Structure 1
Amino acid sequence: MTNVVVPAVINLDVTGPVISRHLYGHFAEHLGRCIYGGFYVGEDSDLPNAAGIRLDVVESLRALNIPNLRWPGGCFADEYHWMDGIGPKDRRPVMVNTHWGNVEENNHFGTHEFMALCELLGAEPYISGNIGSGTVKEMSDWVEYLTREGDSPMVRLRKANGRDEPWRVRFWGLGNEAWGCGGNMSAEQYAAEARRYGTYCRDHGDNKLYRIAAGANSDDYAWTETLMKSLGTLGCAYRPTSFVQALSLHYYTVPGPWHDKGDATVFDTDDYYRTMVQAARVDELLTRHSDIMNCYDPDKHVGLVLDEWGTWWNVEPGTNPGFLYQQNTLRDALVAGLHFDIFHRHADRLVMANIAQTVNVLQAMILTDPESGALVLTPTYHVFEMNKGHHDAASLRVDLLSAAPARVIGSAPLQTVSLSASRKEGRVLISLSNLDAAEAADVDLDLRGGSVTDVRSRILTAGRLQDHNTPEAPDTVAPRPHQQVVPTASGLRVHLPAHSFVTVEARLA
């Protein structure tokens, strides 16, 4: 059978917007076993830990060059009161997590533990503040506690709790999902709250805050317009305000109805294609939200932050339905690869993205077994690792010279070959996905404005879309060397087997 050939041009000497490393951000909510039993096992655990933080989880995430970590939620953020999570652990009050499982939490993982985790990871903290059930003073005090030098009530409290020097915390979320679990507010009501909270979340010393307003759910374009109107004037007269630097957006890939989202590992080819159509929709959402922002902010002072994204399936049988534990297959990995190609194309406005979530929840990087303690790296983890060369690299435009292969799924066309490219420090990284479940493809890369040497390629695929990793078979879906990349007169030809993700890295000659 003759493979489809996709001709593409990459101009190696013409760079576009920088792909922020923060597009590869992560999310850790007090939800299920993400924090307790995932990141944090307690100081008495038999597992190697640093003050209760699980060290093999840290080591695995450091290998991804994890750029940032969002905490404590999610919906949990708007019922979390940070003062309950500081001081001696035996004096911290117990709380009920009403959003996720209605379980009690002892608050042993709080502000100091989170900051210690970020230091171990080498990641920037992104803290979501409580607007839903909190107060302006509570959030203002949290900023002061973490970031102020010198002397003040919150500085004295921090020092009494064992930390003399302030931390640097740039990223602050002004609530979460204010249209839903964060307060069920109208856009106008939330816009006023964001202005108020943003005003009193102050810069202390040289710690300049990057305040992220709680933005739209999926295709709620009216929400984005309302927030943009509240930040300034229409068109070129716009001047950025000081109290908000970015708007968030949430979008999950859910191919089924909300009450029955589909199974993580038991699905057929039709289910797979419906999933990929939903995943590809993030391009439309980013485009349309950006278009609205462009009307009010043509110079792109205000960033767009997709701080919750990923697949969402029915929970694994036998697990707590409020813990959102799901397996992670090759299908999930291909969703991630497609998202990153789209993110790279929107790097002029999209400044951060955070997959939901890092450990044991939704589309996780890592799954841990509560009985044996075994740690498993998921297929999605490997996409993040294979793509880390794009961090802070200059994007390279990719032009297809003919229509890409596509399948019509229902009434929606799905382009089955996706690719993106970047360059940094004398090297180029090209990421390619073949989303077709059955047919291979070849991509002819016409590399103009330069040449490449020392070409290396890896592939992530498996025999079945449903394949996944377990403690007994941890490498069922793992990267392997890819030998089917050959030089041509104009560049490279890359063979893409069906349902595969491939990266090609080379040195610029």
Structure 2
Amino acid sequence: MSSSNARAVIDLDVAGPKINKHLYGHFAEHLGRCIYGGFWVGEDSPIPNEGGIRRDVVDALRALNIPNLRWPGGCFADEYHWMNGVGPRDQRPTMVNTHWGNVEENNHFGTHEFMALCELLGADPYVNGNVGSGTVREMSEWVEYLTRDGDSPMVRLRKANGRDKPWRVPFWGIGNEAWGCGGNMRAQAYADEARRYATFCRDHGDNKLYRIAAGAADDDLEWTEALLKAVSCLNCGRDPRSTFQGISFHYYTSEAGIRHGSATDFTDEQYYRTLIKAADIDRVIAGHSALMDAYDPARKLGLICDEWGTWWEVEPGTNPGFLFQQNALRDALVASLHFDIFHNHAERLQMANIAQTVNVLQAMILTDDNGAMVLTPTYHVFEMNKGHQDAQRLPVHVISQPEAVSVDQDQVVPISMSASIKDGRALISASNLSVDSDTTLTVDLRGRAVGDHRARILTADSPQSHNTAEANAAVRPADFEVSIDNGVLTAELPRHSFATVDLDLQ
């Protein structure tokens, strides 16, 4: 093990753009045990629940200040017909989940159950509509069912199903991955469909829709440009049409391609390759942002990364279609790195959704049918970083740091940082991504005097460390000693660690 030094400067008096709280959004698809066995256990379950919704999962997520929840997919969204998920549960027809395991679902978790979950979480609903196998009328009526007051066919149906007043549902996805599982469409064909569907997804009363067009995979700028051309023109100086308000993209991280490698059994080289892939989202966001700036210089449209996270091989002995994977310290550092990058693109990036919240891919929480609940290392990054939500970004200048780690033609820069200010407090996030080198980090805090502070750290014996039902605290935050003297913060960052410092500004 070696040691190194790094130095940074943070201007505490230069508040930048707001870091939208929705960058800390979540995603719950009908996939594996995310909904059934994760969020939903049913009212007759011995596991404590509220109306069938698992109470300990809700309590754990409320501690993250979860801002929004995307549902019902994902690929599942484009085969989901919402009418089959309302009314008495024992009268709802079953369906086959063809994308994920080819299992039969009883539709017991539908629109009302999802809205009850969002109310328990205190989260904004993000409903993803069915473009792939649905109709414009079907999606338009879903908006009406959820958000309209007064009297109409869908309002009467909602009231008959036990809900008198409408809900507030701000976020609506116009299909999902239309280039793939959402219909295998060509960019121009989907752009036309997005305009058509968005036109009939109407604002009812004071519920204003934020319509999100299904965007690109990774850095497919041609797809993004087709959507931009559908609502704007290049360098024409006009605001884009208000057909949709956001354009999404999806970005998954693995060591070398989706579903490659184990979540907990990997080499140092695989660890660094994972971080190289994670860091490349910076380039991807910058590409989409630059293109959007050309068509939308006033930044009326938001860029949305509504699926992101690590994707590993499923745990041995589990259903391959359920995408259940463990979650190690490596995953937590992928998350911390992503958030630093998200914060740095706060001018354009307005929402991001981790895939997924419970029991699927890079989950916050793992559960079993016996009542065990495990908080993953990634969960703790979300919790430690929640002070950045709706805060203003502060400029962080990394003046010097350890030598980058090279893997073939790529490199990993060991120190990643971001900072923000809100309500007289600043939050600094810092990651040491090195697998074998501790770093002494000194930070010049300029522009404001600093009073009390509190620091926490997330690390473990190795990047492979993870939590299980039998050892559920192998990776968890701990108090962390840092010093502040004459405006200079000094912290001894261990290898493979993530730390936050909360500052009371004077």
Q: Shorter-chain-normalised TM-score: which range?
A: over 0.9
- 3-state SS of the aligned residue for 1:17? coil
Counterpart code for 2:362: Q
2:485 maps to which of 483, 488, 491: 488
Counterpart code for 1:429: L
Residue 409 of structure 1 deviates from its aligned partner by 1.5
Counting only pairs closer than 5 Å after superposition, residues 67-146 of structure 1 correspond to structure 2 as 67-146=67-146
Q: Does the Cα contact within 8 Å between 2:401 and 2:415 map onto a contact in 1?
A: no
Residue 2 of structure 1 deviates from its aligned partner by 7.3
Counterpart code for 1:131: V
Q: Does the Cα contact within 8 Å between 1:436 and 1:499 map onto a contact in 2?
A: yes
Give, in whole Å, the separation in 1 of the partners of 2:408 and 2:111.
Answer: 48
Counterpart code for 1:508: L
Counting only pairs closer than 5 Å after superposition, residues 192-231 of structure 1 correspond to structure 2 as 192-231=192-231
- 3-state SS of the aligned residue for 1:7? strand
Q: Deviations over 1:429-470 (max 9, x none)?
A: 000000000001122111111121111100000001111001
Give, in whole Å, the separation in 1 of the partners of 2:143 and 2:444.
Answer: 50
Residue 488 of structure 1 deviates from its aligned partner by 3.1
Residue 4 of structure 1 deviates from its aligned partner by 2.1
Give, in whole Å, the separation in 2 of the partners of 1:219 and 1:141.
Answer: 34
Specify the alignment match of 2:475 in structure 1.
477
- 3-state SS of the aligned residue for 1:308? strand
Q: Does the Cα contact within 8 Å between 2:5 and 2:401 map onto a contact in 1?
A: no
Q: Does the Cα contact within 8 Å between 1:233 and 1:239 map onto a contact in 2?
A: no
- 3-state SS of the aligned residue for 2:473? coil
Counterpart code for 2:448: G
Give, in whole Å, the separation in 2 of the partners of 1:82 and 1:252.
Answer: 28
Residue 403 of structure 1 deviates from its aligned partner by 5.5
Q: Deviations over 1:280-321 (max 9, x none)?
A: 011000001101111100110000000000000000000000
Counting only pairs closer than 5 Å after superposition, residues 90-489 of structure 1 correspond to structure 2 as 90-235=90-235, 237-258=237-258, 261-370=260-369, 372-402=370-400, 405-483=403-481, 485-489=482-486
Q: Does the Cα contact within 8 Å between 1:236 and 1:297 map onto a contact in 2?
A: no
Give, in whole Å, the separation in 2 of the partners of 1:404 and 1:64.
Answer: 32
Give, in whole Å, the separation in 2 of the partners of 1:402 and 1:331.
Answer: 24
Counterpart code for 1:506: L
- 3-state SS of the aligned residue for 2:207? coil
Give, in whole Å, the separation in 1 of the partners of 2:460 and 2:138.
Answer: 50
- 3-state SS of the aligned residue for 2:143? helix
Counterpart code for 1:352: M
- 3-state SS of the aligned residue for 1:120? helix
Counterpart code for 2:12: L
Residue 244 of structure 1 deviates from its aligned partner by 0.5
TM-score when normalising by structure 1 = 0.98
Q: Does the Cα contact within 8 Å between 1:405 and 1:417 map onto a contact in 2?
A: no
Comparing 129-138 with 466-475, greater Cα deviation is found at: 466-475
Give, in whole Å, the separation in 2 of the partners of 1:74 and 1:285.
Answer: 21
Q: Does the Cα contact within 8 Å between 2:32 and 2:359 map onto a contact in 1?
A: yes
Residue 407 of structure 1 deviates from its aligned partner by 0.9
Specify the alignment match of 2:5 in structure 1.
5
Alignment pair present for 1:52 and 2:49: no
Give, in whole Å, the separation in 2 of the partners of 1:491 and 1:149.
Answer: 56
Alignment pair present for 1:502 and 2:499: yes
Give, in whole Å, the separation in 2 of the partners of 1:254 and 1:190.
Answer: 28
- 3-state SS of the aligned residue for 1:342? helix
Specify the alignment match of 1:23 in structure 2.
23
- 3-state SS of the aligned residue for 1:69? strand
Residue 256 of structure 1 deviates from its aligned partner by 2.3
Identity over aligned pairs, percent: 66
Give, in whole Å, the separation in 1 of the partners of 2:461 and 2:341.
Answer: 26
Counterpart code for 1:231: V
Give, in whole Å, the separation in 1 of the partners of 2:124 and 2:335.
Answer: 22
Residue 495 of structure 1 deviates from its aligned partner by 1.5
- 3-state SS of the aligned residue for 1:16? coil
- 3-state SS of the aligned residue for 1:322? helix
Residue 236 of structure 1 deviates from its aligned partner by 5.0
Q: Deviations over 1:91-124 (max 9, x none)?
A: 1000000000000000000000000000000000
Give, in whole Å, the separation in 2 of the partners of 1:415 and 1:490.
Answer: 26
Give, in whole Å, the separation in 1 of the partners of 2:408 and 2:210.
Answer: 42
- 3-state SS of the aligned residue for 1:87? coil
Q: Does the Cα contact within 8 Å between 2:419 and 2:429 map onto a contact in 1?
A: yes
Q: Does the Cα contact within 8 Å between 2:404 and 2:411 map onto a contact in 1?
A: yes
Residue 44 of structure 1 deviates from its aligned partner by 0.7
RMSD over aligned Cα, in angstroms?
1.0
Counterpart code for 1:247: I
- 3-state SS of the aligned residue for 2:443? strand
- 3-state SS of the aligned residue for 2:362? coil
Residue 232 of structure 1 deviates from its aligned partner by 0.9
Q: Does the Cα contact within 8 Å between 1:451 and 1:491 map onto a contact in 2?
A: no
Residue 472 of structure 1 deviates from its aligned partner by 0.9
Residue 352 of structure 1 deviates from its aligned partner by 0.3
Residue 220 of structure 1 deviates from its aligned partner by 0.7
Residue 402 of structure 1 deviates from its aligned partner by 3.1
Counterpart code for 2:290: D
- 3-state SS of the aligned residue for 2:457? strand
Please, which runs of 5 or more residues in structure 1 have no aligned partner?
Answer: none
Residue 6 of structure 1 deviates from its aligned partner by 1.6
Give, in whole Å, the separation in 1 of the partners of 2:249 and 2:30.
Answer: 20
Q: Deviations over 1:64-90 (max 9, x none)?
A: 000000000000000000000000011
TM-score when normalising by structure 2 = 0.99
Residue 154 of structure 1 deviates from its aligned partner by 0.4
Q: Does the Cα contact within 8 Å between 2:2 and 2:436 map onto a contact in 1?
A: no
Please, which runs of 5 or more residues in structure 2 have no aligned partner?
Answer: none
Give, in whole Å, the separation in 2 of the partners of 1:150 and 1:353.
Answer: 34
Residue 404 of structure 1 deviates from its aligned partner by 5.4
Comparing 398-407 with 381-390, greater Cα deviation is found at: 398-407
Residue 490 of structure 1 deviates from its aligned partner by 3.4
Residue 491 of structure 1 deviates from its aligned partner by 2.0
Counterpart code for 2:202: R
Q: Does the Cα contact within 8 Å between 1:419 and 1:431 map onto a contact in 2?
A: yes
Counterpart code for 2:410: A
